């Protein structure tokens, strides 16, 4: 692979660009810790740029001052975060083009925000540094940096699915987005399917040559590497947290409060792509067809509020609550409900208690780049006595082949696999879950960060 920029030099900087701060958000904080470890091993520093309400600079907790977080004030921060990214790219990449709002004003705000990030990055990154751009909200930044003659190597990781040309091609700004991404030296995606879709979009929509081994795009003066690297979690930390005595006590209290022999957990953010209502319909079908389990099984449904205002979400929330009410109304018996519903965000300790309390996790996204809920649940059950029921349309399904796969569009598929989960022999439960836990531990967030940084810094 050829490039016009050198790799990360000893003592260089990794500049992480993210639309949200890497401190506080659960996933981003894990990436921040992993990036700190990876850069320290290279004798390098790292700085993060994120959008904020004011310009400010802080260190990452009580860690070394070499780990710096800088926020940049954007005039249209709200329109940027809740606009084009969430109302165009999110639905488009999750195969819901009918939910896209192709408004020129949203595109203009998106472009200006990307220009603001690129301008800030140009003032910080130099030769011997690398720029790591995180997620689709900053899709134009690589091209802007390339056009400005940035000396650093540039990579972008695209966390959501990448759709094929037949879907991505409906976007009026498809060429500008693809061109922005091709400003990078490395484009990271979650799965090999995503890599193939990205290459197909470049071939069909830009008429550029691509190659498959390794996946890359050939430009007149250089090549762009496309890498499938599934995002991992901090499995060791989550496993230790779930094993903590106070968390185990909380988990036992949760089980006693629910009062069921078997607890099924469904947890995700309020979003139409997450398949929360589809999971509820499958659970309702399970209770309807298996009367013998109605007084033995309970579902804990946790819906996490969205950080952004998206027009479709209030209606989705009502639909979920109607399904919850119907299940409770149909199957409550002698005061014991078959369903506990929570609409809330949980702190990490409380979340671990729910993971540890559940015998079965029901994860049913209609489409997902990865789905870290599935991996977090697995990490909290390293001993093996649990079952994961997972949508075949989650990126995590490619790695977690020991899960029970379901088609979330088919309530009967969910019904069958829930029945398989609650009737599974203990030996098989442990065999499957231990295999899943080993996979999650092997390809954790530290592996992911180091691998992407290797590609970005070294051009391997």
As a whole number, mean pLDDT of residues 436-450 equals 95
Q: Is the pLDDT of residue 10 over 70?
A: no
User: Annotated catalytic, 185?
Assistant: no
**Would you state the pLDDT for residue 240?**
96
Q: 149-163 pLDDT, tens per residue?
A: 999 999 999 999 999
Q: Got the DSSP string for 38-99?
A: HHHHTT-EEEEEEEESS-EEEESTTS-TTEEEEEEE-TTHHHIIIIIIIIIIHHHHTT-GGG
As a whole number, mean pLDDT of residues 237-255 equals 96
Most confident of 24-28, 214-218, 456-460: 214-218
Query: Which region, left, alpha or beta, applies to residue 11 given φ > 0 means left and ψ of -120 to 50 means alpha?
Result: left
Any idea which architecture 13-232+445-458 has in CATH? Answer: 3-Layer(aba) Sandwich (3.40)
Sequence ranges of the chain with CATH classification 3.40.50.2000: 13-232+445-458, 235-442
**Would you state the pLDDT for residue 35?**
78
User: Annotated catalytic, 368?
Assistant: yes
Domain at 235-442, CATH from 3.40.50.2000, 1.10.3720.10, 3.40.1190.20, 3.10.150.10 = 3.40.50.2000
Cα separation of the two ends of the chain: 7
**Would you state the pLDDT for residue 11?**
61
Percent of the chain residues topping a pLDDT of 70: 91
* Confidence bin at 1 (pLDDT 50/70/90): very low
As a whole number, mean pLDDT of residues 228-243 equals 95
The radius of gyration of the chain from alpha carbons, rounded to an integer in Å, stands at 22
> Considering the entire predicted model, what is its pTM?
0.93
As a whole number, mean pLDDT of residues 194-212 equals 98
Q: 316-368 pLDDT, tens per residue?
A: 999 999 999 999 999 999 889 999 999 999 998 999 999 999 999 999 999 99
Distance CA(221)–CA(211), nearest Å, equals 15
Query: Which is catalytic among the residues 137, 159, 381, 446?
Result: 159
Residue (of 49, 215, 170) closest to 121 by Cα position: 49
Query: Which is catalytic among the residues 135, 368, 381, 446?
Result: 368
Q: Is the pLDDT of residue 229 over 90?
A: yes
Phi and psi, residue 56, nearest 5°: -160, 165
């Amino acid at each position: 692979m050829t490039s016009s920029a050198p790799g990360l030099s000893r003592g260089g900087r990794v500049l992480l660009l993210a639309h949200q701060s890497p401190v506080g958000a659960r996933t981003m904080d894990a990436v921040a810790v992993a990036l700190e470890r990876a850069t320290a091993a290279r004798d390098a520093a790292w700085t993060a740029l994120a959008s904020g309400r004011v310009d400010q600079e802080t260190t990452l907790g009580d860690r070394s001052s070499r780990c710096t977080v800088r926020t940049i004030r954007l005039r249209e921060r709200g329109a940027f975060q809740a606009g084009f990214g969430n109302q165009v790219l999110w639905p488009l990449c999750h195969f819901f083009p009918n939910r896209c709002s192709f408004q020129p004003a949203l595109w203009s705000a998106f472009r200006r925000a990307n220009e603001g990030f690129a301008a800030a990055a140009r003032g910080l990154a130099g030769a011997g540094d690398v720029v790591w751009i995180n997620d689709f909200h900053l899709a134009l930044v690589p091209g802007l940096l390339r056009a400005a003659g940035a000396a650093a190597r540039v990579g972008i990781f695209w966390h959501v699915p990448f759709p094929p040309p037949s879907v991505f091609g409906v976007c009026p700004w498809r060429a500008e987005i693809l061109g922005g991404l091709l400003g990078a030296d490395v484009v990271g995606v979650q799965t090999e399917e995503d890599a193939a879709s990205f290459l197909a979009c470049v071939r069909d929509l830009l008429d550029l040559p691509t190659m498959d081994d390794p996946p890359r795009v050939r430009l007149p003066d250089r090549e762009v590497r496309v890498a499938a690297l599934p995002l991992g979690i901090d499995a060791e930390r989550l496993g230790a947290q779930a094993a903590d005595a106070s968390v185990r006590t909380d988990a036992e209290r949760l089980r006693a409060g629910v009062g069921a022999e078997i607890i099924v957990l469904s947890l995700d953010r309020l979003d139409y792509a997450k398949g929360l209502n589809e999971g509820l319909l499958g659970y309702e079908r399970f209770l309807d067809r298996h009367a013998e389990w109605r007084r033995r099984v309970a579902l804990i449904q946790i819906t996490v509020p969205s950080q952004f205002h998206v027009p479709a979400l209030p209606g989705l929330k009502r639909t979920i609550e109607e399904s919850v009410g119907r299940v409770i109304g149909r199957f409550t018996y002698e005061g014991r409900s078959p369903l506990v519903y929570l609409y809330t965000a949980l702190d990490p300790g409380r979340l671990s208690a729910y993971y540890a309390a559940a015998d079965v996790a029901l994860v049913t996204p209609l489409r997902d780049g990865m789905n870290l809920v599935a991996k977090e649940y697995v990490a909290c059950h390293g001993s093996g006595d649990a079952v994961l029921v997972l949508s075949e349309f989650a990126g995590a399904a490619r790695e977690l082949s020991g899960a029970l796969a379901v088609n979330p569009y088919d309530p009967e598929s969910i019904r069958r696999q829930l029945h398989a989960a609650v009737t599974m022999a203990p030996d098989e439960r442990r065999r499957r879950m231990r295999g899943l836990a080993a996979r999650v531990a092997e390809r954790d967030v530290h592996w992911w960060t180091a691998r992407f940084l290797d590609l970005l810094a070294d051009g391997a």
